Structure 1
Amino acid sequence: MMDLGNMVRGVASNGFAQSLLQFWEHDEGTLELRRASSNFVYAFMRNQVQYFLRISFEQHNSIEQIKAELEFMHYLQTNGFPTVTPIQSNNQRLIETLKTSEGTYIAVVFTAANGITLDEETITEEQMEEWGKSLASLHCLSKTFNPLDEKRKSWLDTVQFMESVFKKHPGEELALQELRKMTNWLQSLSTDQDVFGLIHYDFQLDNLFFKRDKDPHFNVIDFDDALYHWYALDLVTALDDFIDNPQSKWLIDSFLNGYRTKMDLDDDVVAQFPQFKRYANLYKFARILNSLDYGEINDTPPWFEELKVKLVRVADRLRNNFQQ
């Protein structure tokens, strides 16, 4: 998540988005903000076909990392994995930038994903199984992916990020202790290609579009969190809305059964899920803490306080777990 100051400024005016959109063909007057979280996502139309403009702020995502993301997506798509397609600008580039007084904005345009979104309340066992197969297919391809240029960040970069965030807040000693425990544990694990590689890290239902046809499958979006980590973390974060709910065990089993049709998943790895959940919670806590470190904001909109309170509550809940 971006810091709240950048979010407020970005939502207040779409001037930077309008300027970046000029690099691509579009129908005038169709730009519409859809999301502001780790980046800004706008929908727009071109010849009455919908596309999505994603804008990142340079302090949150570098051009090199976005190039690495697009290379991975191209590799997946070339090998038959269904994902959205980045669109070249009028300058024949996949990435365009805009320098402003606040910093540099980085833009990419993607096609829209085909399919429908599912939710944890109505998803079926069969769909859970397809979801697991989809993630396994991604991991199978990740095992043979060798980037030509820049590599995506790794778990070590996340450790450095978390340490830098926690050291800015002297009161977060428990988080630092948790980070040391997690780091020591991760360092003890194998990094064999069968268990470790480039993961999606946000393979949740809101980033998946289910296509019902003769060959049911998921179209996948949002690879901007992809990093080198253990595949087990991708399973844990994907199942985040299910894993703590005893009534969801049968759905989780369907997901894991689907995953095992394409990837090995030993019982000892499944037994490590709670540890990976601890890591994911710690990383989430650090990102929230970083987003709340926003400095001075003038004229905050009505939604700002509500979002801030929500983030503080989530951070408090995650912090309480560090004592256990």
Structure 2
Amino acid sequence: MEKHIKELFTDKILEKCALAFGLKLDEVTYIGGFENFVYGFKRNEKEYILRIGHSDHREYDMITAELDWVNFLAENKADVSTPIKSIKGKLVEIVKVGDGSYFTVTTYEKAKGGRPTKENIGDDFCFEYGRAIGKLHNLTKKYKVTEGIPKRYEWHEDILFQDGTSFLPKEDKYIWEKYNELIKYLKALPIDVDSYGLIHTDIHFGNFFVNHNKITIFDFDDCSYKWFISDIAIAIFYLTAFGMDSDKRNSFVKEFLSSFMKGYNVENKLDKFWLKELKNFIKLREFTIYIVIHRSFDANNLPEWASQYKSDFKRRLEKNIPLIDLDFLEIK
């Protein structure tokens, strides 16, 4: 999060954000957040989340579009955290600040359970992971934007895909070229209701909780119109990109995807064509994380994970080495 946003976010602003949902300052507890300020609170012994974001990160129209979709999913019994209305009956509130910008405020029921860990992964969990994502994809085919609500953006309208290479140093010329080639290729892929729609785009272990294998998905901040296969690629990427060698990745993905797709297919069906494209969408996330590291961190003071990722993936991206070297169509 940019320094100037942190400076704008005073206790007075937090108090106004809390008041919009009938809360006092001492009733909210800071939890964390990377691009938003996230707080927790209790009401009638039930736990909730208060999310506060700055307009430089995401403007009101796009937050409204996000909440319209999440509310639709919740009303149709998807495995998501339900949005809660403010005391004025709104899903999104605005708190203005002195420089003319503003903060958006939203509230959700807190998901039950806790974050999953790789050590707890089994067939039942992988099945449920796939089923939960499949249900989102099936529902998004039926979603119609509520009248008066703006439409959420298309994936390629994100700055990372419009001009992502602007964040990279000149010595990464070959990575620029490979990245731009991939974006051009993806833009030419077919689009239809059975393969493309509004999706989460970031369903990794940090964005859902598990309670007795029941998954509840949250943090739809990055949702956009994109191919369904992207959500599956994201799941695979985050489970394998860190701390696994190539042989272990391949064997792990064979087992994971077998159970995952059985669950997915209970709720939604994807043409086999898209499994062939899975490597390209995994590669897209490889590029995206590499670019985000350059955009969001001081190159001379990187967190350990970012420094390791940058080192490991630079050669992989330049030479177009696949993260997972499998024929996904052969996985049963």
The bucket for the TM-score relative to the shorter chain is 0.7 to 0.9
Q: Is there any run of 5+ residues in structure 1 with no aligned partner, and where?
A: 295-303
Report if the CA contact (8 A) 2:198-2:226 is conserved: yes
Counterpart residue identity of residue 144, structure 1: K
Q: Does 1:38 align with 2:35?
A: yes
From 261, 270, 279, give the equivalent of 2:275: 270
From 79, 91, 95, give the equivalent of 2:92: 95
Report if the CA contact (8 A) 2:168-2:294 is conserved: no
In the alignment, which residue of structure 2 is the partner of 1:291? 296
Question: After superposition, where does 1:192-203 map in structure 2 within 5 Å?
Answer: 192-203=192-203
- What SS class does the counterpart of residue 191 from structure 1 fall into? coil
In the alignment, which residue of structure 1 is the partner of 2:250? 246
Superposed displacement of residue 137, structure 1: 0.8
- What SS class does the counterpart of residue 152 from structure 1 fall into? coil
Distance 1:306 1:290 in 2: 11
Superposed displacement of residue 141, structure 1: 0.7
The alignment yields a C-alpha RMSD, in angstroms, of: 2.7
When residues 32 and 161 of structure 1 are mapped into structure 2, their CA distance, relative to the original with a 3 A threshold, is: same
Q: Does 1:26 align with 2:30?
A: no
Q: Does 1:259 align with 2:259?
A: no
Q: Does 1:228 align with 2:225?
A: yes
Superposed displacement of residue 222, structure 1: 1.0
Distance 1:112 1:27 in 2: 18
When residues 192 and 9 of structure 1 are mapped into structure 2, their CA distance, relative to the original with a 3 A threshold, is: same
Q: TM-score when scaled to structure 1?
A: 0.84
When residues 277 and 264 of structure 1 are mapped into structure 2, their CA distance, relative to the original with a 3 A threshold, is: same
In the alignment, which residue of structure 1 is the partner of 2:131? 133
Counterpart residue identity of residue 314, structure 1: Y
Superposed displacement of residue 313, structure 1: 4.3
Distance 1:257 1:8 in 2: 44
- What SS class does the counterpart of residue 121 from structure 1 fall into? helix
Name the stretch that deviates more: 114-123 or 194-203: 114-123
Counterpart residue identity of residue 137, structure 1: K
In the alignment, which residue of structure 1 is the partner of 2:163? 164
Name the stretch that deviates more: 18-27 or 254-263: 18-27
- What SS class does the counterpart of residue 261 from structure 1 fall into? helix
Report if the CA contact (8 A) 1:68-1:150 is conserved: yes
When residues 134 and 243 of structure 1 are mapped into structure 2, their CA distance, relative to the original with a 3 A threshold, is: same
In the alignment, which residue of structure 2 is the partner of 1:299? none
CA displacement 1:258-288 (0-9 Å, x = unmatched) = 1122322344422221111111122223333
Counterpart residue identity of residue 297, structure 2: L
Superposed displacement of residue 112, structure 1: 1.1
In the alignment, which residue of structure 2 is the partner of 1:105? 103
Report if the CA contact (8 A) 1:98-1:105 is conserved: yes
In the alignment, which residue of structure 1 is the partner of 2:155? 155
When residues 220 and 57 of structure 1 are mapped into structure 2, their CA distance, relative to the original with a 3 A threshold, is: same
Distance 2:34 2:238 in 1: 19
The count of corresponding residues between Structure 1 and Structure 2 is: 307
Distance 1:316 1:134 in 2: 34
Report if the CA contact (8 A) 1:58-1:104 is conserved: yes
Counterpart residue identity of residue 246, structure 1: N
Distance 2:219 2:165 in 1: 27
In the alignment, which residue of structure 1 is the partner of 2:68? 71
When residues 182 and 24 of structure 1 are mapped into structure 2, their CA distance, relative to the original with a 3 A threshold, is: same
Distance 1:163 1:192 in 2: 22
Superposed displacement of residue 55, structure 1: 0.8
When residues 105 and 313 of structure 1 are mapped into structure 2, their CA distance, relative to the original with a 3 A threshold, is: farther
Superposed displacement of residue 24, structure 1: 1.8
When residues 32 and 279 of structure 1 are mapped into structure 2, their CA distance, relative to the original with a 3 A threshold, is: same
Bigger relative contact order, structure 1 or 2 (CA pairs below 8 A, ≥6 apart): 1
Counterpart residue identity of residue 124, structure 2: E
Distance 2:106 2:178 in 1: 36
In the alignment, which residue of structure 2 is the partner of 1:301? none
When residues 25 and 310 of structure 1 are mapped into structure 2, their CA distance, relative to the original with a 3 A threshold, is: same
- What SS class does the counterpart of residue 225 from structure 1 fall into? coil
Q: TM-score when scaled to structure 2?
A: 0.82
